[in-house]
Amino acid sequence: MTNDQLPITNYQLPIVMAEGLIAGLVVFTLASFVGFEVINKVPPTLHTPLMSGSNAISGIAVLGAILISGQGSVTVTSILGTIAIALATINVVAGFLVTDRMLQMFKKKEVKA
């Protein structure tokens, strides 16, 4: 009985993992379509701010970095995670701030100084 079950569980494990991967792919694909639809028509005036703003969003990697660096003991993983947190935070903070700095310069009418 046990001899029969063992190969089955070994065989099933990759399939179970693949389902997680597929769920991720579904989310990824749908989010990509949303991205294409939402951003499709952007006037050239806003190309640079769009780029720096979306750049800040790619700093979302900070979440991954937090997850691997806050697991308790100090290990190679937590050190690498901390470096990743610093880099991704630079990306987030500088990205949003510089985008705001640019956008506040865009004016429809002249402002008399």
Partner 1 sequence: MSDFLPSGIQLGYLVAASLFIVGLKQLGSPATARQGNVLAAIGMFIAIVGTLLEKQVVSYELITVGIIIGSIVGTIMAKTVAMTDMPQMVGLLNGFGGAASALVAVGEFWRYLSIPESPTPDATITILLGVLIGGITFTGSLVAFAKLQELLPGAPISFPLQQPFNALLAIALLAGSGYMVFHPEDVPVFLGLVAISNILGIMFVLPIGGGDMPVVVSLLNSYSGIAASVAGFILMNNMLIIAGALVGASGIILTQIMCKAMNRSISSVLFGAFGGGGGGAAAAGVAGGAIDKTVRSINLEESAMMLGYARSVVIIPGYGMAVAQAQHAVRELADGLEKMGVDVKYAIHPVAGRMPGHMNVLLAEANVPYPQLYDMDDINPQFEETDVALVIGANDVVNPAARHDTASPIYGMPILEVDKAKHTIVIKRGMSAGFSGVDNELFYKDKTMMLFGSAKDVVAKLVAEVKQL
CA angle 12, 15, 68 (to 5 degrees): 110
Question: In this complex, which beta carbon is closest to partner 1, that of residue 1 or of residue 38?
Answer: 38
Q: Which residues contact 33 (CB under 8 A, 6 or more apart)?
A: none
Instruction: Give me the least distance between CB of 1 and partner 1, in Å please.
Output: 26
Listed residue (66, 113, 72) closest to 92, CA to CA: 66
CA atoms within 13 A on the CB side of 113: 0
Q: Are 65 and 88 in contact (CB under 8 A)?
A: yes
| Residue 7 beta carbon to partner 1: minimum distance, rounded to whole angstroms | 17
Rounded least distance, CB 28 to partner 1, Å: 5
Closer Cβ to partner 1, 3 or 108, answer by number? 108
Closest to partner 1 by CB, 1 or 112 = 112
Supply the minimum distance, in Å, between the C-beta of residue 24 and partner 1: 5
Length of the chain: 113
Nearer to partner 1, 1 or 105 (CB): 105
